[in-house]
Structure 1
Amino acid sequence: MGHKHIKNKKSRPGQEATKVLSLSGIIDIARSGMGFVAVEGLERDIVIYPENLNTALKGDKVKVDVMVRKTRDNKRVEGVVKEVLVRKQSEFLGRLDVKPTFAFLVPDNEKVPVDIFIPIDKLNGAKDGDKAMVRVTEWRRSKNPVGEVLRVLTQEDANEIAMQEILSENGFPLDFPDDVLEEAARIPDVLDKKEIARREDFRDVLTMTIDPIDAKDFDDAISLRTLKGGYYEVGVHIADVSHYLQPGGPLDEEALNRATSVYLPDRVLPMLPEHLSNMLCSLRPDEDKFTFSAIFTINKKGKVKDYRIAKTVIRSDRRFTYEEAQEIIETGEGDYAKEVLTLDAIAKALRAERFEHGAINFSSSEVRFRLDEQGKPIGIVVKESKDAHKLIEELMLLANRYVAGYAQEFTYKGKPLPFPYRIHDQPIEEKLSAFASFASKFGYRLNLQSPELIARSFNEMLKEVNGKPEQHMLESLGIRTMSKAIYTTENIGHYGLGFEHYCHFTSPIRRYPDVLVHRIVHDLLRGKVEPVKGLEEMCRHCSDQERNAMEAERTATKYKQVEYMQQFVGDVFEGVISGVTSFGVFVETIEHKCEGMLSVNDLSAIDRFDFSESEYALVGRYTGIRFTIGQHLMIRVVRTDLDKRQIDFELAEMPAQKVARRIAKGKDRQQEQKKKRKK
């Protein structure tokens, strides 16, 4: 077998190059082998030829020496990778090729352009042809990287192989290093009595957790006690992870590196070792736990009279599942029914106030798989957000908002104290205008004159569209017009939630930014007002890791969809178009919520189709037949490909043009409104 080796050639002949400066950014590598480095502040990506990659792989953070080359039309920025600053991926899955004195791992991922050299003494019992997971231990510029076998995977482990590959591709290590596990194991299980004495004691106050039925880490609890004058004391108690993580230690460094837990259909890859996430920090019932709390004096109308932030100790009285809490809300009966109903009333008042002040009310439902013991999907469940979910959501939002508001009051040397805010920018004007133009074809008018009016008219549209054929389409497109939320020290507020100040305080077991927030707030409470070194860089890293986790979750969900739909090849289902591209349309089956592709090539027997970006549609040149987001189709499952994570559909019936009729009705409605305004 021939092997892919690293080539380290000189600069391209016949071209003058002038070194300008050194920059750093994230590298993407195309199928051609060309690299492109995105650097903040630069309009164009820096081009890296394959011979100048110097072992960099897709997703790595790299330092590049930049040159400018003159071309006929413009200047192209080219560079040479001088150093890989942060590796996105260090573990690779592939097939072993073992020779008498050495071995190679041939990676499954085609985007990894080089094989990994394995010394014979690092095979750890693996044999020729084995499927193995390998960790790179040494990166060499002019030679192949060197690695060691972590584990061998058998064919029975097909699901295990797929899930581990997805995690590795997105840069998440599968195991905790020994020094991290050792530090976690050394933490005492018994709470220190002196530390308890320093904290506000809530162990005698009614406290409960409400979580998914399969949750193992409970990082938030709610306490309630009745005060005078129609007010209540509501405590939002969060696992005090920062009490156990020593800054700069192996445990803390590993948590920062991961930055987030990753939730796949059949597993959780935790940010923290199990001893911490499921034991020490988890707010399990009938156990004393250290917490960091936001405590509110609030009435049933959601009016906050006062609040405080404090280090506390709690003891949860009852662990509710969402289903149990929902039944109490619906029937008014069950354990602590009076308290649950009071919290529900407060949450509903907070929610109403939020929307009144500009939050956008996108509905959400979550698709989950029912799995057998081998992790194979045997069913699909759609979980909707009900009152019990919203109860917890609103109280967490309240805590996050007030903690961020507390932090923004502090300054350092005349400037706002750097703090890891969770921000959400206003929609990009061009995207919003395009969406508003499309929505107007259905008779919905968005007011784009100010951020407040945008939010209000968005909510009016979402309310009006409820139950209509175009609901799914306009909701999906509306979400896509929104900016992405990120972590940063530059506070511009959270547009989608309608908050001026917002941070993540409530999930430190699974999000590292929450740990940073806890540490800074703890210092502020003690009177220590000092910037954290490298905070913005940590925020950026956490945002990147969040995107990587979301990509891993999407890919794993897609894999499970393909695996589930294998049994339905040849069957016909009703679907709804969820996306439109120049090469075809994505269709989601209504029954299973599984997405596949209806290729434009397979539609060529009907007509030649052109892609209309402004209308999110494929339009037939001769027949006028349209395929657009939200449209219902009858499709047949023709192929499933687990390796490519792809489902292929074909059209089972000619489409009914309901969407076209809705557009016509929308235009009629607009004309009527214009006539009324003239009168």
Structure 2
Amino acid sequence: MYSNLRWVASFQVILPMQASHPPNIKKKKSVQNYATRIVHTLQKEPNQAYTIQQLCTVLKVKIKSDKAKVKKVLLDLLQEGMIKKISKGRYLHPTAPIYITGRVDYVHTEYAYIVAPSQPKDVLVRQNNLLSALDNDLVKVCLLPTRGRRRPEGVVVEIIERNTIIGRVTVAGKQPQAIVEQKRMTYTVLLEKEPNLILQKNDKVVITLTSMLNRQGTGKVVQHLGQAGLHEVEMHAIMAEFGLKDTFPENVLESTQNIPLVITEEEITQRRDLRHIPTFTIDPADAKDFDDALSYQPLANGRHQVGIHIADVSHYVLPESLLDKEAYARNTSVYLVDRCIPMLPELLSNVVCSLRPNEPKLTLSAIFELDATGKIYDTWLGETIIYSDKRFSYEEAQAAIERQSGDFYQALTLLNHLAQQLRTKRSEKGAINFETRSLSFELDATGKPLQVMPKVRTDAHRLIEEFMLLANQAVATHVAKLKQKQEKEGPTFIYRTHDDPDPDKLHTFFLFVNQLGYKINSTNKPVYKAMHELEQMIQGKQEEHIIQALAIRSMAKALYTTKPDPHFALAFTHYTHFTSPIRRYSDLLAHRLLKKYLKGERIYDNASYEQKCQYAVERESLAVHAERASIKYKQVEFIQNLKEETLEGIISGLTEWNIYIEILSNGCEGMVRLADLTDDVYVFEADSFQVVGQRSKKCYRLGDIVKVKVKSCDLDKRHINFWLC
């Protein structure tokens, strides 16, 4: 009665869940409220037993008919195991409550999911159990008994932090109102009148809610952004939506003035001096925060010495300093379409720590001796000083490799060869090399998108990626080996782990690719071999990146943890994030710990570092969602100018209600509602991964190429709707 679950096909993906029916939420509100409040009452005092009369008193129930309803609710809760009955007609919570903290993620008007780093699956919470929590609010949830359900379910017991909401003013004047559009939920907010605040229709505002009831809220304007549709207004709206700040507190900026800009001779003598070795960086053309550099020199024995040098941010950002606390709070740099919101102030991220050319820089290095096959003979880790001779963009490095000319082209060519050897070795050990597709935008002076293009990955990108993987693995392996035989746990460290994929999800994924014509027997071989076989079969096909994306989504999420568990997709026994301390706090922590271990010190503090890991996962997820929001907004802004054109796209997702289509030329994605297909009644068949017309038997499958026209664009919701041609 209170435990029915519903399958929702995740956006673009038909793989992860099993089909069933929508939640049966038909009970009267009074009954729902009784159930919720009874569970809340017993959860708050798990050791206190209540009689029916005591519960009626708590519920303020006096009418005889309402008392009968309470008794009926108690029976239902008993049957479902949500409460238990003890002697003398008293009721008790069945177990000690388990509480989690997570953020609300709305997917339906009648229920929501809570995304919590501590939970492998999102937690379903019904609307009547949400305590008026809204999208992206930080909430405390009490998990309910599972009772054999596929997905965990819970009850919000506290709204820890209201998410900042963005509204568009629909009524100005004496009683201004704003409309708030969050995914599938739209509601209005009455705005408190401020004497010095002049609002105009279509202004975007940042609102703090003061109350919320039945999709009607009241709130206070905390920031007036300006007219909707303007580039700066929309980017700042996204930043406000995700709680991102592009400025730093004054006291943090003042503290950076004490950072030494000159490297002392005393500091140099304590490090390995590599300034004489040819060194360079390879980064995006518009980058300024250069985390990593590569050096190369041939050895007399015919082997190669490759140095991976990472900015020594930990030398400048000291634990518990104002700068450190601000960096921890941000935890990661965030890259919107047109800007970087840095983890560290510009003086550090773009000047002091950045490995700029023709400047000596402090680094933490991993230096390898390899032969031409990529076999590693020696590894050295330690504190260094380097001098970068050149700054390459990816395009410049690729041109040098292809043309066999220009600065350092011989070193680049050899490094590219070694990277390819390392990649081959990883694949042979079980690494899965599927790549996600990303987009680049060309904007005019006002921020309007002129062009949207899929980014092209080249050997230069893979070269850098491979050596960063090598350094990350070497550092993690070094620390993991410090564990003594008699120790239950080794020294504390921040690992990046990736669990084995769920067998059911993989089975569903391979059923899907078989439907597309890629016949792969995945039952009698390791997962990576089946994936490698698929990788070869789809190479160069139009549906290649769609299948790659679905393959990635059929796997577990990579996480930060103090547990030295393997990384499945990379086929590494131990792995960490070490190579980007300017833009990731997890890497900064890895640097600090590694430095101590290289000096013979030991730290055993898994409990507090595990909390840091969970926070890093939360902030990583927030950054990804913010970046996607800016991309989606610019996609909608771009595509709305193509309403007269017929566009060719590929079907990238299917659900019960929609067909998702990605435009081939620009990667913009929108949807066709099944209700808009008027030539037949179309039904989503989950078992066969297709949408089928009930009379004509016409089918639409993932990977099909179709022609569409733009039906409508909604910039507030960042949605694109298409017509099928």
The normalised TM-score by structure 1 is: 0.83
- Residue 149 to residue 196, structure 1, CA distance change in 2 (3 Å): farther
What pairs up with 1:15-54 in 2 under 5 angstroms? 18=92, 20-21=96-97, 23-28=99-104, 30=106, 32=109, 40=118, 45=123, 47=125, 53=131
Residue 519 of structure 2 aligns with which residue?
444
Residue 284 of structure 1 deviates from its aligned partner by 0.4
2:439 aligns to what SS in structure 1?
A: strand
Alpha-carbon contact 1:27-1:57 (below 8 Å) kept: no
Residue 266 of structure 1 deviates from its aligned partner by 1.2
1:322 is aligned to 2:398: no
Residue 169 of structure 1 aligns with which residue?
241
Return the letter of the residue paired with 1:558: K
Residue 388 of structure 1 aligns with which residue?
460
Cα deviation code 1:449-475 (max 9, x no counterpart): 45xx22122112211222345545433
Residue 647 of structure 1 aligns with which residue?
720
Alpha-carbon contact 1:202-1:314 (below 8 Å) kept: yes
Alpha-carbon contact 2:177-2:188 (below 8 Å) kept: no
Cα deviation code 1:618-652 (max 9, x no counterpart): 01222121111110111122222212212221121
1:59 is aligned to 2:131: no
Cα deviation code 1:114-136 (max 9, x no counterpart): 9698795xx8x642448465586
What pairs up with 1:25-424 in 2 under 5 angstroms? 25-28=101-104, 30=106, 32=109, 40=118, 45=123, 47=125, 53=131, 57-63=134-140, 79=155, 81-82=157-158, 84=160, 87=161, 89-90=163-164, 95=169, 106=178, 108-109=180-181, 126-129=197-200, 131=203, 134=206, 149-150=222-223, 152-155=224-227, 158-411=230-483, 413-424=487-498
- Residue 437 to residue 249, structure 1, CA distance change in 2 (3 Å): same
How many residues matched? 630
- Residue 420 to residue 69, structure 1, CA distance change in 2 (3 Å): closer
| d(CA) in 2 for partners of 1:541, 1:189 | 31
Unmatched 5+ stretches in structure 1? 1-8, 653-679
2:318 aligns to what SS in structure 1?
A: coil
1:488 is aligned to 2:564: no
| d(CA) in 2 for partners of 1:351, 1:448 | 26
| d(CA) in 1 for partners of 2:398, 2:292 | 18
Return the letter of the residue paired with 1:537: Q
2:351 aligns to what SS in structure 1?
A: helix
Residue 430 of structure 1 aligns with which residue?
504
Residue 651 of structure 2 aligns with which residue?
577
1:546 is aligned to 2:620: yes
Residue 703 of structure 2 aligns with which residue?
630
Residue 668 of structure 1 aligns with which residue?
none
1:614 aligns to what SS in structure 2?
A: helix
What pairs up with 1:523-542 in 2 under 5 angstroms? 523-532=596-605, 533-542=607-616
Residue 342 of structure 1 deviates from its aligned partner by 1.6
- Residue 181 to residue 502, structure 1, CA distance change in 2 (3 Å): same
| d(CA) in 2 for partners of 1:462, 1:69 | 38
Cα deviation code 1:187-206 (max 9, x no counterpart): 23222432222111111111
| d(CA) in 2 for partners of 1:42, 1:327 | 44
Residue 174 of structure 1 deviates from its aligned partner by 4.1
Cα deviation code 1:50-71 (max 9, x no counterpart): 6973x8554344445678899x
- Residue 418 to residue 116, structure 1, CA distance change in 2 (3 Å): farther
Residue 165 of structure 1 deviates from its aligned partner by 2.2
Return the letter of the residue paired with 1:603: L
Q: Which moved more, 1:33-42 or 1:613-622?
A: 33-42
Alpha-carbon contact 2:436-2:545 (below 8 Å) kept: no
- Residue 45 to residue 400, structure 1, CA distance change in 2 (3 Å): closer
Alpha-carbon contact 2:560-2:617 (below 8 Å) kept: yes
1:523 aligns to what SS in structure 2?
A: helix
Cα deviation code 1:221-270 (max 9, x no counterpart): 01122222112221101111112222222322222222211111111111
Unmatched 5+ stretches in structure 2? 1-36, 38-57, 62-69, 75-90
Residue 3 of structure 1 aligns with which residue?
none
2:538 to 465, 472, 486: 465
Residue 428 of structure 1 deviates from its aligned partner by 1.1
- Residue 444 to residue 373, structure 1, CA distance change in 2 (3 Å): same
Residue 329 of structure 1 deviates from its aligned partner by 0.7
Return the letter of the residue paired with 1:565: I
Alpha-carbon contact 2:102-2:138 (below 8 Å) kept: yes
Alpha-carbon contact 1:208-1:316 (below 8 Å) kept: yes
Return the letter of the residue paired with 2:583: R
Alpha-carbon contact 1:93-1:165 (below 8 Å) kept: no
2:712 aligns to what SS in structure 1?
A: strand
1:587 is aligned to 2:677: no
Residue 592 of structure 1 deviates from its aligned partner by 2.0
Alpha-carbon contact 1:424-1:485 (below 8 Å) kept: yes
Residue 383 of structure 1 deviates from its aligned partner by 2.2
| d(CA) in 2 for partners of 1:562, 1:43 | 31
2:455 aligns to what SS in structure 1?
A: strand
Return the letter of the residue paired with 1:415: E
Alpha-carbon contact 1:367-1:381 (below 8 Å) kept: yes
- Residue 392 to residue 21, structure 1, CA distance change in 2 (3 Å): same
| d(CA) in 2 for partners of 1:36, 1:440 | 31
| d(CA) in 2 for partners of 1:145, 1:410 | 57
Q: Which moved more, 1:244-253 or 1:513-522?
A: 244-253
Report percent identity of matched pairs.
36
1:534 aligns to what SS in structure 2?
A: helix
Residue 676 of structure 1 aligns with which residue?
none
Alpha-carbon contact 2:431-2:569 (below 8 Å) kept: yes
| d(CA) in 2 for partners of 1:503, 1:175 | 30
| d(CA) in 1 for partners of 2:170, 2:314 | 42
- Residue 27 to residue 208, structure 1, CA distance change in 2 (3 Å): closer
| d(CA) in 1 for partners of 2:154, 2:658 | 34
- Residue 614 to residue 167, structure 1, CA distance change in 2 (3 Å): farther
Alpha-carbon contact 1:207-1:223 (below 8 Å) kept: yes
Residue 97 of structure 1 deviates from its aligned partner by 8.9
Alpha-carbon contact 1:91-1:173 (below 8 Å) kept: no
| d(CA) in 1 for partners of 2:676, 2:173 | 46
- Residue 447 to residue 371, structure 1, CA distance change in 2 (3 Å): same
